[in-house]
């Protein structure tokens, strides 16, 4: 076989390889184009889901942080209401009508206490509430109802609902 | 042969063998013009031209080659080029298979046909010419056609009526240009009209009748004006040239009255004109180009260059194909990696948010599980959040303070985390408005109801408010 013929065959083989690679490349490109079209929609969906999940994670972290912070504040038992009320409010009829306990899990519970004062100085009661809320751990005012006496300014009936978090011993 | 010739390089040599003398011209293409210089045949650079890849061109005369205008019915160039060899075969006195041939000046006619100039030479003549050139120590890469070379160089150096090319040439009218080459061993007559080559002939220029017949035939019979250009070493023999023209005038009569419709001139440096033409055609692209050293006689350097060019083109195509595949691979991998990364982040966040493994849950399902978990967490921690929210005591204090400033008597105040109501009496119709403003500022939506004034002139009112959830 002459060198020219060998060279001709070599070029034909090269052409065949080049054509084959081109065909593979073009077919592959079509596949890649389709993959891009499909996957770009999927990536957009995933990006949106990741964004939602991040927002949920932030929200969950906020809840957990609040819970941890509040539990840190309420690590000890709040002051006993009966004693404080007896000391601060004199000459008024006090009725501790109802006490409730709501378990929050993990050994924690929410204690609620209703108090009703008849013919009491309203400022005096609000001062008591301020003091209770400033305590460590604090009582928190959950509800308040004031009904002023008809003819005595600054006096009336005051109903309170106080709540405190407490670790069950 | 390519229909429109490309330049073979920026430099080239044209060779014209004039008996025992070898005329060599080196042409170099600069930015704006071609520079031609006569060199000796023994010149070192010329002798080493082949090694340095500088092409050399020699010529096949009209006795050794033929040109023929052809026309085919196809307007499509590619189709016409396939048919032209068959048409040429019909025109040739010998089989086209025995010839080196090609087509130049391929053009589409107004009738939608294709017209081209066929150039052919028998392989036997090519072989004989190459052998003669080899004896003279010349190995040309290009074997050009003498008539075409003389024609293009004449137009190049003295454009003249070339400007009339186009419609005039198509009509067969316009000025006839004759390039008469007086060589040592041969004489060649090239005829064209209005810039278009018509034919080249090996003739005895002294044969006025034959010359006139050839000119009239090439010009289509109607010769109005003639410009006659001498070239070749014999053009320097003024007496001989004048004798030729005188013979033509005698034969032609009034049509050859110089100064009226006939112009006779000599190209500059006529002895090197043909070599200059060949060298110039090597270094400039354009129509009317041809190389009859083809097929089995193709110069090895040209064959190597073409093969190298083919190999380079193939290698480039191969590389481009590989790059295409590589790009596809990279893009596919990138897309998958991106999707994988998003999925991993989603699972990680989902597990962290939900506080447990999500199992097989992916995408929207994972988000749904996390949402449920966060909602449960929100409900479970609500007492803690309520515990940490702003105290109602402050709100009660603010209401009592505003009421005091407005001289409003508060009869009842009911305060709960989400709603509030205040009732009392005020000195004026708008006494309750500051209370409403205070509540609005603290995130409540408040409404006020007023009743008719009491006997003491005060206005009873009640304000109810609901916490806004924004």
User: Are residues A159 and A94 located together in one domain of the fold?
Assistant: yes
Regarding whether A149 and A89 lie in a shared domain, the answer is: yes
Pick from A43, A73, A103: which residue ends a domain? A73
Q: Which is more confidently placed, B359 or B119?
A: B119
Burial A98-115 (b: 16+ CB within 10 A, else e): eeeeeebeeebbbbbbbb
The predicted structure's pLDDT at residue B127: 95
User: Quick one: pLDDT band at residue B178, thresholds 50, 70, 90?
Assistant: very high
CATH of segment(s) B1-158+267-298: 3.30.420.380
Verify whether the Cβ–Cβ distance A147 to B411 is below 8 Å: yes
Q: Beta strands A108-121 and A140-148: pairing type? A: unpaired
How near does any CA of chain A get to the CA of B187, in Å?
A: 41
ipTM of the complex: 0.72
Cβ-Cβ pairs closer than 8 A, A with B, add up to 178
- Verify that A94 and A150 share a domain, yes or no: yes
Contact A126 B396 (CB under 8 A): yes
* Inter-chain residue contact A142 with B343, CB threshold 8 Å: no
* Cβ–Cβ contact B326 with A under 8 A: no
Rounded to the nearest integer, the mean pLDDT of chain B is 86
B324: nearest CA partner in chain A: A25
**Spatial distance between the Cα atoms of B373 and B179, rounded to a whole number of angstroms:** 100
For the sheet containing B56-60, what is the strand order?
A: B34-39, B21-29, B11-18, B56-60, B142-145
Judged by CB atoms closer than 8 Å, whether chains meet at B321 and A63 is answered as: no
The pLDDT value recorded for residue B161 is 55
What is residue B31's DSSP assignment? S
Chain A residues touching B338 at Cβ < 8 A: 39, 43
Residue B239 DSSP label: H
Taking CB atoms and an 8 Å limit, are B342 and A47 in contact across chains?
yes
Do A5 and A33 have their domain in common?
yes
Q: Are residues A65 and A86 in the same domain?
A: no
pLDDT (tens digit per residue) in A68-111 = 888 887 777 788 888 888 888 877 677 777 888 888 887 888 88
Based on the domain organization, do A21 and A89 belong to the same domain?
Answer: no
Check whether residue A89 and residue A160 sit in a common domain. Answer: yes
Place of tokens 């890849």: B53
- Count how many domains chain A has: 2
The residue-averaged pLDDT of B409-427 equals 90
Asked whether residue A3 carries a pLDDT value surpassing 60, the answer given is no
Of A56, A67, A144, the CB nearest to B413: A144
Contact assignment for B349 to A53 by CB distance below 8 Å: yes
Q: Inspect the interface and report whether the beta carbons of B391 and A43 lie closer than 8 Å.
A: no
Minimal-distance CA residue of chain B relative to A17:
B318
What is the CATH number for A159? Answer: 3.30.70
Q: Which of B445, B452, B435 is nearest to B467 (CA)?
A: B445
Spatial CA neighbour of A158 closest among A91, A94, A111: A94
Q: pLDDT value at position B286?
A: 82
Q: What is the pLDDT of residues B215-267, one digit of tens each?
A: 888 887 767 788 899 999 999 998 999 898 888 887 776 566 555 677 889 99
CB contact under 8 Å between B416 and A45, yes or no, is: no
B368-399 pLDDT tens trace: 888 888 898 888 888 888 777 766 778 888 88
Helical (H) or strand (E) element with B180: strand B176-182
Share of chain B above pLDDT 90, in %: 40
- Among A73, A107, A133, give the residue marking a domain's end: A73
Name the strand (E) or helix (H) holding A32: helix A3-73
More confident residue, B256 or B348: B348
**B296 near A CB under 8 A:** no
Asked if A111 and A157 sit in the same domain, the reply is yes
> Is B364 near chain A, with CB under 8 Å?
yes
Mark which residues 340-359 of B lie under 8 Å from A by CB.
342-343, 345-346, 349-350, 352-353
The reply to whether A3 and A67 lie within a common domain is yes
Contacts of A32 in chain B (CB under 8 A): 328, 331-332
- Average pLDDT on A31-53 reads 87
Which pLDDT score, from 0 to 100, does residue B387 have? Answer: 79
Q: Do B324 and A26 touch (CB under 8 A)?
A: yes
CA atoms within 13 A on the CB side of B385: 13
CB of B283 closer than 8 Å to CB of B7: yes
Same domain, residue pair A52 and A9: yes
Average pLDDT over residues B196-223: 87
Same domain, A103 and A160: yes
| Mean pLDDT computed over B163-191 | 73
The tokens describing A49, both together, are 């889901």
**Which residues make Cβ contacts (< 8 Å) with residue B287, sequence separation at least 6?**
B4, B5, B104, B105
User: DSSP 3-state assignment of B211?
Assistant: helix
Please indicate if any CB of chain A lies within 8 Å of the CB of B413: yes
Most confident of A102-106, B47-51, B99-103, B417-421: B99-103
Domain B391-467 has CATH 3.30.460.80: no
In contact, B369 and B358? CB cutoff 8 Å: yes
| Chain B contact set for A147 (CB, 8 A) | 411-412
For the ranges A9-13, A114-118, B115-119, B363-367, the lowest mean pLDDT is seen at A9-13
What are the respective helix, strand and coil percentages of chain B, to the nearest 5?
45, 25, 30
Q: Are residues A69 and A85 in the same domain?
A: no
Does CATH number 3.30.420.40 belong to domain B168-266? yes
Rounded mean pLDDT of A21-30? Answer: 86
d(CA B128, CA B144): 15
- Chain B's closest residue to A61, CA to CA, is B353
Give pLDDT, residue B447: 92
- Residue A92's domain comprises 81-167
Sign of the Cα torsion B277, B282, B287, B292 reads positive
B385: nearest CA partner in chain A? A66
pLDDT average, residue stretch A4-14: 69
Query: Of B44-53, B262-271, B413-422, where does mean pLDDT reach its minimum?
Result: B44-53
The residue of chain A nearest to residue B309, with distances taken between CA atoms, is A11
- CA–CA dist A21, A30 (Å, integer): 14
Residue B342 is nearest to which of A22, A50, A105, comparing CB atoms?
A50
């Amino acid at each position: 076989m002459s060198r020219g013929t060998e060279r001709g065959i070599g070029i034909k083989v090269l052409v065949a390889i080049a054509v084959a690679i081109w065909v593979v490349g073009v077919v592959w490109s079509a596949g890649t184009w389709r993959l891009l079209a499909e996957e770009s929609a999927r990536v957009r969906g995933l990006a949106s889901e990741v964004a939602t999940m991040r927002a949920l994670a932030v929200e969950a972290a906020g809840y957990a942080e609040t819970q941890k912070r509040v539990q840190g504040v309420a690590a000890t038992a709040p002051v006993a209401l009966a004693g404080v009320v007896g000391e601060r409010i004199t000459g008024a009829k006090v009725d501790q009508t109802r006490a409730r306990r709501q378990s929050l899990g993990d050994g924690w519970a929410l204690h609620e206490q209703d108090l009703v004062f008849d013919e009491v100085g309203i400022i005096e009661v609000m001062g008591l509430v301020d003091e209770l809320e400033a305590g460590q751990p604090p009582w928190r005012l959950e509800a308040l109802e004031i009904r002023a006496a008809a003819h005595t300014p600054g006096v009336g009936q005051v109903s309170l609902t106080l709540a405190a978090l407490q670790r069950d011993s | 042969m390519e229909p429109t010739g490309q330049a073979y390089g920026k430099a080239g040599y044209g060779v014209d063998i004039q008996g025992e003398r070898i005329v060599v011209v080196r042409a170099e293409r600069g930015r704006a013009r071609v520079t031609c210089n006569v060199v000796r045949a023994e010149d070192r650079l010329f002798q080493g031209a082949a090694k340095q890849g500088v092409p050399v061109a020699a010529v096949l005369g009209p006795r050794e080659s033929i040109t023929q205008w052809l026309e085919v019915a196809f307007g499509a160039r590619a189709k016409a080029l396939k048919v032209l060899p068959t048409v040429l075969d019909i025109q040739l006195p010998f089989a086209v298979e025995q010839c080196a041939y090609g087509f130049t000046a391929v053009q589409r006619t107004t009738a939608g046909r294709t017209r081209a100039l066929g150039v052919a030479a028998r392989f036997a003549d090519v072989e004989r010419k190459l052998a003669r050139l080899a004896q003279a120590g010349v190995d040309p890469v290009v074997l050009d056609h003498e008539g075409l070379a003389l024609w293009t160089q004449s137009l190049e150096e003295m454009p003249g009526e070339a400007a009339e090319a186009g419609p005039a040439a198509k009509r067969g009218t316009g000025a006839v240009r004759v390039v008469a080459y007086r060589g040592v061993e041969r004489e060649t007559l090239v005829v064209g009209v209005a810039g278009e080559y018509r034919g080249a002939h090996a003739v005895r220029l002294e044969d006025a009748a034959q010359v006139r017949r050839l000119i009239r035939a090439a010009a289509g019979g109607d010769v109005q004006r003639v410009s006659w250009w001498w070239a070749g070493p014999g053009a320097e023999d003024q007496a001989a040239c004048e004798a030729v023209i005188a013979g033509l005038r005698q034969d032609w009569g009034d049509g050859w009255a110089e100064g009226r419709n006939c112009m006779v001139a000599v190209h500059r440096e006529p002895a090197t004109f043909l070599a200059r033409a060949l060298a110039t055609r090597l270094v400039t692209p354009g129509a009317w180009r041809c190389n009859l050293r083809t097929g089995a006689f193709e110069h090895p350097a040209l064959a190597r260059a073409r093969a190298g060019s083919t190999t380079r083109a193939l290698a480039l195509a191969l590389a481009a194909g590989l790059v295409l595949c590589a790009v596809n691979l990279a893009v596919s991998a990138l897309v998958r990696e991106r999707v994988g990364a998003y999925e991993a982040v989603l699972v990680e966040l989902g597990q962290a948010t939900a506080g447990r493994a999500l199992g097989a849950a992916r995408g929207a399902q994972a988000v749904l599980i996390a949402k449920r978990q966060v909602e449960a967490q929100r409900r479970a921690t609500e007492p803690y959040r309520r515990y940490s929210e702003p105290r109602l005591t402050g709100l009660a204090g603010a209401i009592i303070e505003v009421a005091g400033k407005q001289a409003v008597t508060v009869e009842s105040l009911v305060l709960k985390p989400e709603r509030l109501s205040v009732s009392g009496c005020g000195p004026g119709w708008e006494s309750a408005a500051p209370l409403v403003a205070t509540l609005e500022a603290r995130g409540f939506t408040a409404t006020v109801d007023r009743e008719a004034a009491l006997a003491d002139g005060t206005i009873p009112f009640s304000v109810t408010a609901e916490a806004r959830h924004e």
